[in-house]
Amino acid sequence: MAKVNLKSVKKTYDKTEVIHGVDLDINSGEFIVFVGPSGCGKSTLLRMIAGLEDITEGEISIGGEVVNKIIAAERGVAMVFQSYALYPHMTVFDNMSFALKQAKTPIDEIKSRVLESAKILQIESLFERLPKQLSGGQRQRVAIGRAIVRNPKVFLFDEPLSNLDAALRVQTRIEIAKLHNQLAATMIYVTHDQVEAMTLADRIVVINQGIIEQVGTPIELYNSPKNQFVAEFIGSPKMNMINLKNGHKLNMTNLNIPSGATKIGIRPEHLNVSNDNSSKLKGTIRHIENLGEHLLCYINLEKNNEITAKLDVNSSIKINENIHLDWHQNHQHFFDSSGVSID
Amino acid sequence: MKKLTFTRIFSQLLLLLFVIAWIIPTFGLFISSLRDKDVLAISGWWTSFTTTEVNEIYRTKGKEDQINEGDYYFIKSNLFDEKQGKEIYRFGVTSKNIDEYEVGETALFKDETEITVFENGDYIWKSKEEFTKKKGKRIFVSAKSPPSFTFDNYKEVLLKEGLGQAFLNTFAVALPATLIPLIICSYFAYALTWMKFYGRDLLLATIIASLVVPLQMCLIPVLTIYNDFGALFGVSAKSYPGIWMAHTGFGLASTTFLLWNFLKTLPSEMIEAARVDGATHYDTFIKIVVPLSIPSFASIFILQFLWVWNDLLVGLVFLDKHPSEIILTAKLKELLGSRGENWEILTTGAFVSMTVPLFIFFSLQRYFIRGLVAGSVKG
């Protein structure tokens, strides 16, 4: 358990700056998720904390101690990799005990600690197997077990679920959440999947092109995104953006548009069908996807703008028909021309 | 079953051709080396599996072996010195008519002595008067010779001709000259692949560039430099350490390149995991990289070992022709000059020099299977 502090951290590869000064304070025992599109620098940031990448500028401290010059093994961090990165020629037990052996821990202690962490993950029965004899999910457990054994101050996860199939991903996600409750350790988790971010995180860090867009609890990010990027990145399907100036058939009277706003954002799940001619929005239904629990409805506005609405399955709508849409005033977001949110 | 396309048939036929082109001479060499040297000189190895008819000349025993029984003197013995399994079917006593008599018949010599020759070579020579000549008489036989093989050639070549010593010498050259570069280059390749240091790419480019420099070009300069250094420390110009160093130097670039090629296929996340787990570069190399690189080490070992084993040029330049230093290829070349007529020595010598490459190849073949990394990353 330790807090992690990043102070104007920058990373440059061959004169190309990929991380443009990141400031972040991670509290002890917190589950932090770095989320962003691929290539945004989230993995690089994690690897810098792990000690696998040099820190070009700025300062990273773990538990109050600046670790810029400290090698990976001595930072008290453990990392779980996307490809599991198990040692293929070693048994599960040897894989899990490798770090302790490197640290010259007494044999008895190695055994008890490996057994203890194997129990948490229920992989004691796999001790004698080689990685190639394990399924993908089991391999990922062993990789997590290898991290737990070291009893690190900070756990680092680099997209650990990307290689698993959908069902296993949900299951392992829940286990990681349980693990965090059980160990109460600081965890930093990198993913591009916003569902993982929303479900796991105490706080989410949204990263885009090497800068932090917003830091906040999942619900904060969902309810009050600071800018258009966060608004569109968090939530699925993504938030609808409607230009205010292009003269869509918006019924402006009920909107209370703040000054300077150029766009209005409404999440698909907040749109509902209205039979009223005084509704806020009108469009033509182009396509409907029935997902069982709800309908995803793709609606054309004028000028080929398309929005998505998540509607009740029982809505009586048909393709190519006109539709009137409404939303609650609390659910609308306004953004100015530079994409910053206006309250 | 795969579809039989023209390319597939062609490639299979080509493969068959290669197999035949490789196996037949090897097999012929092996059979030849097991044949009797006299037979070897007159007939091809492919005749050695069937019974052949040969005409031979033997000489009977002389007066020392005679015995007196009643009125007659007898010499009873066998034409063959040792058991050969030959079956005589005709014989003769004059060079004009070498198959005059059926086996078992009695032939008459000019001096009126009589001889009976039997199928297995036994003969009874009968005379009224005492045999007086020390030398026996010539007997011409036509015999059927069954297939026969012998290890005599090997005994001769390995023990008398000094090929056995040359064989050991070649081992003394080839083993260190393979292991030393392998050890050096594995460290080197690891550093080139997984360590960050200034000028790494330049170093790699240099190694790849030096792959194209022919060995012959630097042979003499290397020898000269080595001689000068040797003189400085009072080391003989031609010695085992010298040739080890030479082979190491010449093999360095290719061995490093091949190993580098393999090492960079190891998953980088695994190496990083080891780093986070507290392994130093040395630990990572010894505990992670080496165990996973055994297949590539084995294949590079085979390549370098065979190259050193079959090398003649470096061996001639860096080693003396003393029996204690001469290597197999040089010895064979020497035999070719001095005993070029003796096929049994050449075929046997050639086969002796082939045994080790064959053994190495067949015993290490399984290491070519690169299945060891399976399981560490998602396949």
> How far is residue B337's CA from residue B320's CA, in Å, rounded to a whole number?
17
Interchain CB distance below 8 Å, B270 and A131: no
- How many CB atoms within 10 Å of residue A34? 28
Place of tokens 């000019």: B110
Domain extent, residue B142, equals 51-146
What confidence category does residue B285 fall into, taking pLDDT thresholds of 50, 70 and 90?
very high
Which of A81, A99, A134 is closest, CB to CB, to B278? Answer: A99
Interface test with A, best of B265, B266, B275, B277 (most A CBs within 10 A): B277
Positive or negative CA dihedral for A87, A90, A92, A97? negative
Confidence of residue B281 (pLDDT cuts 50, 70, 90): very high
* Residue B314 lies inside a defined structural domain of this protein: yes
The most confident of B74-83, B138-147, B174-183, by mean pLDDT: B174-183
The reply to whether B227 and B203 lie within a common domain is yes
User: What's the gap between Cα B357 and its chain centre?
Assistant: 8
Write the CB contacts of A14 (distance below 8 Å, at least 6 apart in sequence): none
CB contact under 8 A, A86 and B283: no
pLDDT at A250: 65
Q: What is the CATH number of the domain that holds B232?
A: 1.10.3720.10
Q: Does the residue B32 lie in any domain? A: no
pLDDT band at B84 (very low <50, low <70, confident <90, very high): low
- The pLDDT assigned to B196 comes to 87
Q: What angle do CA A291, A294, A296 make, to 5 degrees?
A: 75
Shortest Cα distance, chain A CAs vs residue B265, angstroms: 13
Chain B nearest C-alpha distance from A237 (Å): 30
Among B276, B372, B376, beta carbon nearest to A78: B276
Domain-located, residue B45: no
In this structure, what token pair is assigned to residue A237? 């399907």
Query: Which residues of chain B make contact with A91, given a CB cutoff of 8 A?
Result: none
Residue A42 to residue A48: CA distance in whole angstroms: 10
Taking CB atoms and an 8 Å limit, are B374 and A132 in contact across chains?
yes
Whether A199 has a pLDDT exceeding 60, the answer reads yes
User: Cα separation of B28 and B34, whole Å?
Assistant: 10
pLDDT above 60 for A248: no
Domains contained in chain B, number: 2
- Average pLDDT in the B194-223 region? 89
**Contact (CB, 8 A) for A257 and A283:** no
Task: Mutate one of B276, B285, B373 to test the A interface: name it (highest A CB count within 10 A).
Answer: B276
Structure-model confidence comparison of residues A115 and B301, the more confident one: A115
- In which element (H, E) is residue A205 found? strand A203-208
Does residue B202 share a domain with residue B81? no
Chain A residues close to B276, C-beta within 8 Å: 50-52, 72-73, 77-79, 99
Select from A310, A266, A268 the least CA-distant residue to A292.
Answer: A310
Tell me if A78 and B375 make a contact (CB, 8 A cut-off): no
Contact residues for B123 (Cβ-Cβ < 8 A; gap 6+): B60, B75, B76, B77, B78, B79, B115, B116, B117, B139
Q: What pLDDT score does A288 carry? A: 92
Q: Is the omega angle on the peptide bond into residue A237 within 30 degrees of 0, that is, cis?
A: yes
* B159 shares a domain with B112: no
Q: Are residues B131 and B206 in the same domain?
A: no
pLDDT reading at B372 higher than 60? no
pLDDT value, residue B289: 94
Mean pLDDT of B60-87: 80
Cβ atoms of residues B242 and B318 within 8 Å: yes
Calpha distance B318→B243 (Å, rounded): 5
* Subunit contact A73:B279, Cβ cutoff 8 A: yes
For residue B344, the model assigns a pLDDT of 83
Q: Which residue of B has its CA nearest to A146?
A: B277
CB distance A88–B278 less than 8 Å? no
* Interacting residues of B177 by C-beta distance below 8 A, sequence separation 6+: B243, B244, B247, B248, B251, B304, B308
Write the CB contacts of B343 (distance below 8 Å, at least 6 apart in sequence).
Answer: B32, B37, B40, B41
Inform me whether the pLDDT recorded for B376 exceeds 70: no
Question: CB distance A84–B376 less than 8 Å?
Answer: yes
The pair phi, psi for residue A217, each rounded to 5°, is -70, 160
The answer as to whether B15 is a domain residue is no
Instruction: Identify whether residues B57 and B85 lie together within a single domain.
Output: yes
B97 lies in the same domain as B190? no
Enter the pTM of the model. Answer: 0.78
Residue A314 corresponds to which tokens in the numbers above?
Answer: 């029982």
pLDDT at A1 over 80: no
Nearest C-alpha in A relative to B373: A88
| Residue pointed to by tokens 């000064």 | A21
Q: Are residues B180 and B104 in the same domain?
A: no
Q: pLDDT value at position B370?
A: 43
Amino acid, single-letter form, for residue B63: K
Please tell me whether residues B207 and B134 are part of one structural domain: no
Q: Inspect the interface and report whether the beta carbons of A131 and B273 lie closer than 8 Å.
A: no
ipTM of this predicted structure: 0.85
Report the C-alpha gap between B275 and A71 in whole angstroms: 9
Q: Is residue B26 part of a domain?
A: no
The residue assigned the tokens 């391999």 is A139
Q: Are residues B296 and B348 in the same domain?
A: yes
Does some domain include residue B33?
no
pLDDT of B14:
93
- Give the mean model confidence (pLDDT) for residues A10-29: 92
Structure tokens at A193: 């999947």
Question: What DSSP letter does each residue of B183-204 carry, written as one string?
Answer: HHHHHHHHHHHH---TTHHHHH
Confidence label for A226 from pLDDT (cuts 50, 70 and 90): very high
CB pairs under 8 A between A and B: 86
- Rounded to 5°, the CA angle A232-A233-A237 comes to 70
Q: Which of B146, B166, B197 is the last residue of a domain?
A: B146
What is the reported pLDDT for B199? Answer: 92
A110 and A101 Cβ atoms separated by less than 8 Å:
yes
Q: What are phi and psi of B246, to 5 degrees?
A: -60, -50
Q: For the CA atoms of A206, A208, A214, A216, what is the dihedral angle to 10 degrees?
A: 0
Query: Mean pLDDT in chain A?
Result: 89
Q: Is some CB atom of chain A closer than 8 A to the CB atom of B99?
A: no
**Tokens representing residue B21 in the block:** 């082109």
Among candidates A50, A79, A163 on the partner chain, residue whose Cβ is nearest the Cβ of B378: A163
Question: Do B287 and B309 belong to one domain?
Answer: yes
Of B119, B146, B173, the residue that ends a domain is: B146
> Which residues of B are less than 8 Å from A113 in CB distance?
none
Better-scored residue on pLDDT, B345 or B202: B202
Whole-number pLDDT of residue A20: 92
**Quick one: average pLDDT of A176-202?**
91
Q: What gap in Å lies between CA B295 and CA B303, rounded to an integer?
A: 13
Cβ contact B375–A130 (<8 Å) = yes
Which pLDDT score, from 0 to 100, does residue B234 have? 78
B281 touches chain A (CB under 8 A): no
How does residue B159 score in pLDDT terms, banded at 50, 70 and 90? confident
**Chain B nearest-CA residue for A100:** B277
If we measure between CA atoms, which residue out of B82, B83, B79, B77 comes closest to residue B93?
Answer: B79
Burial A286-312 (b: 16+ CB within 10 A, else e): eebeeeeebbebbbbbeeeeebbbbbe
Residue ending a domain, among B100, B117, B146, is B146
More confident residue, B379 or B123: B123
- Give, for A18, the enclosing helix (H) or strand (E): strand A16-26
User: Are residue B60 and residue B160 in the same domain, yes or no?
Assistant: no
Asked whether residue B14 is domain-assigned, the answer is: no
Is B105 an 8 Å CB contact of chain A?
A: no
Any CB–CB contact under 8 A between B267 and chain A?
Answer: yes
Confirm whether B17 is domain-assigned. Answer: no
Predicted pLDDT at B2? 62
Indicate yes or no: CB of B274 within 8 angstroms of CB of A51: no
Cβ contacts (< 8 Å) between B297 and chain A: which residues? none
- The residues of A whose Cβ lies within 8 A of any Cβ of B are 50-52, 71-74, 77-79, 81-89, 98-99, 102-103, 130-134, 136, 139, 146, 150, 163
Predicted confidence band of residue A93 (pLDDT cuts 50, 70, 90)? very high
User: In this predicted structure, what is the pLDDT of residue B17?
Assistant: 95
- The separation between the first and the last C-alpha atoms of chain A, rounded to the nearest angstrom, is 37
Mean pLDDT within B1-21: 86
**Nearest Cβ partner for A85 among B273, B287, B292:** B273
Q: Is the pLDDT of residue B147 over 70?
A: yes
User: For residue A296, what pLDDT is reported?
Assistant: 92
**Residue B346, helix vs strand vs coil:** helix
**At residue A133, does pLDDT exceed 80?**
yes
Kindly tell me if the per-residue pLDDT of B258 is higher than 60.
Answer: yes
Burial class (CB in 10 A: 0-12, 13-18, 19+), A61: middle
- H or E segment to which residue B316 belongs: helix B313-318
Residue A78 distance to chain B (closest CA, Å): 7
- Say if residue B318 is in the same domain as residue B265: yes
pLDDT value, residue A217? 95
Greatest alpha-carbon span in chain B: 107
> Is A307 or B361 the better-scoring residue by pLDDT?
A307
Give the chain A residue whose CA is nearest to the CA of B377: A83
Tell me: pLDDT of A279 over 80.
no
As a whole number, mean pLDDT of residues B337-361 equals 85
pLDDT band at A10, cuts 50/70/90? Answer: very high
Chain A residues within an 8 Å CB radius of B377? 83-85
The rounded distance, in Å, linking the Cα atoms of A317 and A295 is 10
In angstroms, the separation between the Cα of residue A53 and the nearest Cα of chain B is 10
Q: In angstroms, what separates the C-alpha of B294 from chain A's closest C-alpha?
A: 11
| More confident site: A319 or B133 | A319
pLDDT number for residue A220:
93
pLDDT score of B155 more than 90: no
Looking only at the bridges linking them, the beta strands covering A272-273 and A322-326 are: antiparallel
pLDDT value at position B375? 36
pLDDT band at A254 (very low <50, low <70, confident <90, very high): low
